[in-house]
Amino acid sequence: EHIIDSAEIAGFNLTGSDGLVMADIDGDGYEDIVSVHEADDDYNSAASNEDGFVPDAGGHIRLAFGSADPEVWHNITLTEAPAPEDAAIADVNGDGYLDIMVAVELAYLLYLQNPGPGARTELWPQLILPITKDRGSFIRVFMADLNGDNRPETIAANKGAQRPGIKDFMRSDPVSIYSVTGDPLDGGNWQETILGKYSVPQNAQPVDLDRDGDLDIVIGSRGEERIAWFENIGNMAFKEHAIGTIGRHAHGFNMDYADMNGDGRLDIVSLTRRGVAWFQQPNNIDDGWIGHPIGAFPPDNLIGITLVDIDGDEDQDLFAGGYSGGSRLDESETPIDSPLGRLAWFENPGADYQPGKDWARHEVSRRKRGMFDKFIARDLDGDGDMDLLSTRGNSAPYDGVFWLEQVRSSKPMPRFKAARVTESQEVGLP
């Protein structure tokens, strides 16, 4: 484990680390990391709002500039926002520099414009998209060119309530495309196209699901516990299709995509109530999608996932992270049979796959406190195997951004080496 950003590095209480994305922001040839930090260390952001608690509007958006050395990062705070949850990167104003859009879970969508050569030192101009204000929580955001005009659109799920209760589940909130004409810093230049409305929508991800050369959109609804997709039929027109999952329901909070069985069609990997599964795209895309189990790691809550070839055998394994469920500040009374902060990976069986059987699970770490929501796979140290970058929450003062170096050895060695001497307690399974 290697630390990229933390409260100690930031010089303030950096907590609730959540989404992250990577791209070369300053054009120096090295990928940089945009990370968002929700500042939810004193409350459970996954609980219902019916307890009457109103969270403080805190949170930070951070940028770690990369270098030739994966141990050396230059970290800055771009701005503060009320519980930022996710971020996306694209050149919105067409000046050749990558800009940032942030889904702010307590409030709105926030646009941050890259100032150019002074990205490390100058203030980034910003705009709260006016059409997203006073609509509650935004939890996921993506940017992609949906119509081939070389200008990205923003796709976002308006979750509605950060901590939804019964009344929130009974309401339908939109999944939308946000387009801009002219100066992105002028709020009047943004337009919204609503794709559909759902009970607690929590994902809206651009992907060429039908492999016809343009980007479609896959959405996930927590309240309806289903996923669906919008077919891009050209000229910013989209047609909704149900995804009839068979064997288990998918809510689409985190999804990934790959041709899992080599039939030339793109399959969907998603969380379900029983862990992670991959859903096989049928020959006719509107027929039923069979769910195949990948695995789970009880008693811990598996949340963060990414497909990556961990073992170098040219198929897609799955790396996963879990949420600890106890106190985010004190672990002295946290039992080991409660949901803890878990890291593990599941090995793709390849030709040895047996229908209905989970993939082999390999443990990495299990600490009393930790939330691992999102992963990005890169060979960060250039040694030929894949490493993982991630954020960590639920564990102040250990929250922040880190990377996991995959180390291979012909001799036995510990499966995990923490970056810190003082850490949340590492424990085994009950």
* Cα distances (angstroms) measured from residue 95 to each of 64, 118, 232, 266, 363: 22, 14, 27, 34, 45
Please state, in angstroms and rounded to a whole number, the distance separating the CA atoms of residues 28 and 148. Answer: 27
Q: Which of 173, 207, 241 delimits the end of a domain?
A: 207
Please state, in angstroms and rounded to a whole number, the distance separating the CA atoms of residues 279 and 274. Answer: 14
Do residue 39 and residue 175 come from a single domain? yes
Structural domain contains residue 335: yes
Do residue 199 and residue 65 come from a single domain? yes
Number of domains the chain contains? 2
What pLDDT sits at residue 82?
A: 92
Structural domain contains residue 102: yes
What pLDDT sits at residue 163?
A: 82
Structural domain contains residue 280: no
| % the chain with pLDDT above 90 | 93
Which single residue is written with the structure tokens 């907590």?
15
Structural domain contains residue 222: no
Could you report the per-residue pLDDT of 345-359, keeping only the tens digit for each? 999 999 999 999 999
Do residue 304 and residue 404 come from a single domain? yes
Do residue 185 and residue 324 come from a single domain? no
Burial of 12 (0-12, 13-18, 19+ CB in 10 A): exposed
Q: State which residues form the domain around 334.
A: 296-429
- Per residue in 197-208, is it b (16+ CB within 10 Å) or e — as a string? ebbbbbbbbbbe
Please state, in angstroms and rounded to a whole number, the distance separating the CA atoms of residues 282 and 396. Answer: 45
Could you report the per-residue pLDDT of 368-424, keeping only the tens digit for each? 999 999 999 999 999 999 999 999 999 999 999 999 999 999 999 999 999 999 999
Q: Does 51 have pLDDT greater than 60? A: no
User: Rounded mean pLDDT of 31-51?
Assistant: 74
What pLDDT sits at residue 49?
A: 53
Contact predicate 34/82, CB 8 Å:
no
Q: What is the CATH number of the domain that holds 79?
A: 2.120.10
Structural domain contains residue 84: yes
Total-model pTM: 0.95
Strand duo 17-23 + 126-128: pairing? unpaired
Could you report the per-residue pLDDT of 20-40, keeping only the tens digit for each? 999 999 999 999 999 999 998
Do residue 9 and residue 141 come from a single domain? yes
Strand duo 60-65 + 32-37: pairing? antiparallel
Could you report the per-residue pLDDT of 93-125, keeping only the tens digit for each? 999 999 999 999 989 999 999 999 999 999 999
Could you report the per-residue pLDDT of 194-233, keeping only the tens digit for each? 999 999 999 999 999 999 999 999 999 999 999 999 999 9
